[in-house]
A and B are shown apart, each in its own frame.
Chain A
Amino acid sequence: MRRLRRTYGAGIGHLLAVLGCLALAAGAVAIVAGDPVWPVMLAWFLAAVLLHDLVLFPLYAAGDRLLTAATRRPRVPVVNHVRVPLLGAGLTFLLFLPGIVGQGEPALRAASGLDTGPVAGRWLLLVAAMAAVSALVYLVRVLAARRRSPDREQQVVHGEGEHRLAGEPEPGPPPR
């Protein structure tokens, strides 16, 4: 047991967990091994990791650094009022991409008789609604901050503002 720890670098439980994982993965590969397009599946598997870790993450991290650099700290911090609707727009864009860009419409038409026509417009409205709600909340916070006495302002607004952010989780879908 000590020898295993010395050469492998961890205990038997670790080794068993890893081997179990690899065994299931091998079984899963066997399911699709006879499929002539398995290399395409593998490519999508690896692309999913690479696109997330080396494209999507650096993009949104860099965007966030730009955003925090661009918004110097005003009396009421504005950064989350940009961040939240942007993240909402990004998340919905990724999840509903096929409808928004009209990809795969022939298959959709065959299945349902429907087109993707209205989706892009609806998505833009949703994004606009999220931005508008966020801006409105910001406006309310700025007005509330102005009413307070100037010397206490900085401190109070900080605490208050964060309270509002937590209480207002994220602009939901527009009123329907």
Chain B
Amino acid sequence: MRPDPEEYGFPAPLWRAVARLRPPLPRWRSPLRGPWLTSVLGLVLLAGLPVVIVTGLLSYVAYGPQLGGAIPGDVGVLHLPVFDWPTRPSWLYRLTQGLHVGLGLVLVPVVLAKLWSVIPKLFAWPPVRSFAHAAERLTLLLLVGSILFEIVTGVLNIQYDYVFGFSFYAAHYAGAWVFVGAFAAHVALKLPHALRGARSRSLRRELRTPLAATVPEPDDGSGLVAEHPAAPTMSRRGVLALVGGGMLLVAGLTAGQTLGDAVRGTAFLLPRGRTTAGADGGPNDFPVNKTFATSRIPAAAVGSGWRLELAGAGTRTLDRAALAALEQHTARLPIACVEGWSTVQTWSGVRLRDLAALAGVPEPASAVVRSLEDGAQAALTAGQVLDPDALLALRVNGADLAPDHGFPARIVVPALPGVHCTKWVRMIEFRSV
């Protein structure tokens, strides 16, 4: 596929003229760069990144694009086939989004090592040998740009640092599709090289080769092997251990935000390594994604005058005592957020399907939940309303919901992204079509 280094495509005089303009370029000295190392790192990414891509695109489906719940709203054909996001298993979104964020973070050291391993190609001279070569380099700009863009925006977003000043959802989603295309093209063009490179040495033998016996890979014309390598200061297995150690370090510092409250503290550099500022260990001591103060709801609105409005065949109004007098159901369900963190709690309240029946729409096609918070609302599918564990929760862990957790009442639906589990519910409208 790749032309011989001495061979130029059409128009050859142009590319030859460019080649003669050689500026001073860095001299590469690492004795470890070579097709084998690059291939091994590439194959690790080939195994891991598709999982990150698919779980990310599934998150878009979980937000309910068919009900207008996904951001960005109009993505043309660039989405997975849309289906009603299931409610079972209840930890589904916790798993997919935990994988998306967790695996994405764990692969960062591999991405950095891969970029280190191929950086001589960035400065290779001549920069362009044919139109095909120029086009391929453009796809590489898209590849490297999009993966770094996805990493940077994702890493900032899970730490609530919106310094970039644009919509995270729109940018991260668009960047993902740039990456999908560039990644697919790169795999199509390079997979044979990667397989050949990985087969060029035995992994088992590399793992037994100490520093004293480490020699550079033979130069295969790929442009990765240094012409005048320095003496090695690390073996090839040392590099693999370093990258693997980096992955373990990141996993150890981030998995706690997804795995649950017993090990939450291990994510001690992430916001979700903590529960609440008070951390009193009480029934309401688990993380939130919006505080009551931030909702700007007046305190009086959640006082004794609060009423729940049900709309369906007609309208009904219930106060909190009336809700508490209805049949109560208890379920242990996760709140799982797009930032990858999650928390599993025991919720009690009224089944949404009972409320639908009360509203005169026992078989709703969908429902819209509105919050006391200005503009906050979320749509639910029929399956999400009718699941036996889908609740308008009044209590958590045996206590009334705290204001931060949505008092007087909040939605909790199995496997529904946390942001759609509306808090401070004011009204539920059950729709029959």
Residue numbers of A with Cβ under 8 A of B are: 6-11, 13-15, 17-18, 20-25, 27-32, 35, 37-38, 40-41, 44-46, 48-49, 52-53, 57, 68, 77, 79-80, 83-84, 87-88, 91-92, 95-100, 103-104, 107-116, 119, 122-123, 126, 155, 158-159, 161-163, 165-166, 169-170, 172-173, 176
Q: Is the CB of B288 within 8 A of A113?
A: yes
Inter-chain contacts of A110 with B (CB < 8 A): 290-291, 293-294
**B139 near A166 (CB under 8 angstroms)?**
no
Q: Is the interface of A mostly helix, strand, loop or mixed?
A: helix
Set of chain A residues within 8 Å of B182, measured between Cβ atoms: 21, 24-25
Do A8 and B291 have beta carbons less than 8 Å apart?
Answer: no
Partner of B249, one of A48, A92, A114: A92
* Residue contact B149 to A112, C-beta cutoff 8 Å: no
Sample of 22 A–B contacts (CB below 8 Å):
A7-B10, A9-B133, A10-B130, A18-B185, A21-B182, A27-B177, A28-B78, A37-B165, A44-B166, A53-B119, A57-B119, A88-B245, A88-B246, A95-B253, A95-B269, A104-B163, A111-B291, A112-B160, A114-B277, A158-B211, A165-B241, A172-B249
Q: Report Cα–Cα, A116/B272, bound state, in Å.
A: 11
Q: Which residues of A contact B159 (CB under 8 A)?
A: 96, 98-99, 104, 108
CB-defined contacts of B289 to chain A, threshold 8 Å: 111-112
Instruction: Choose from A38, A87, A92, A112 the contact partner of B271 (Cβ within 8 Å).
Output: A112
State which of A88, A98, A126, A163 has its C-beta within 8 Å of the C-beta of B156: A98
**From B7, which residue of chain A is reached at the shortest CB distance?**
A9
- Residues of B whose CB lies within 8 Å of any CB of A are 1-3, 9-10, 72, 74-78, 105, 108-109, 112, 115-116, 119, 122, 129-133, 135-136, 138-139, 141-142, 144-146, 148-149, 152-153, 155-156, 159-167, 170-171, 173-178, 180-182, 184-185, 188-189, 207, 210-212, 230, 233-235, 237-238, 241-242, 244-246, 248-250, 252-253, 265-266, 268-272, 274, 276-277, 287-291, 293-294, 404
Q: Which residues of B lie under 8 Å from residue A165 when comparing CB positions? A: 211, 234-235, 238, 241
For the complex, what is the distance from the CA of A159 to the CA of B213, rounded to whole Å? 8
Tell me, in angstroms, the Cα distance from A104 to B164 when the chains sit together.
11
Find A9's partner among B9, B108, B122, B233 (CB 8 Å cutoff): B9
Q: Check B78 against A46 for contact (C-beta < 8 Å).
A: no
Which chain A residues border B175 with CB–CB below 8 Å?
Answer: 28, 41, 45
Which of B72, B129, B207, B269 interacts with A100 by CB under 8 Å?
A: B269
Instruction: A22 to B146: give the CA distance in the assembly, Å.
Output: 13
Q: Are B132 and A49 in contact (CB under 8 A)?
A: no
Q: Which 8 A-B pairs have the closest CB atoms?
A: A170-B245, A9-B130, A24-B181, A9-B9, A104-B161, A169-B245, A10-B132, A98-B161
When A103-B161, A172-B252 are in contact, do A9 and B210 touch as well, CB less than 8 Å? no
Q: For the complex, what is the distance from the CA of A45 to the CA of B148, rounded to whole Å? A: 8
Query: Quick one: which of B167, B188, B238 contacts A162, CB cutoff 8 A?
Result: B238
Q: Report the bound CA distance from A91 to B235 in whole Å.
A: 21
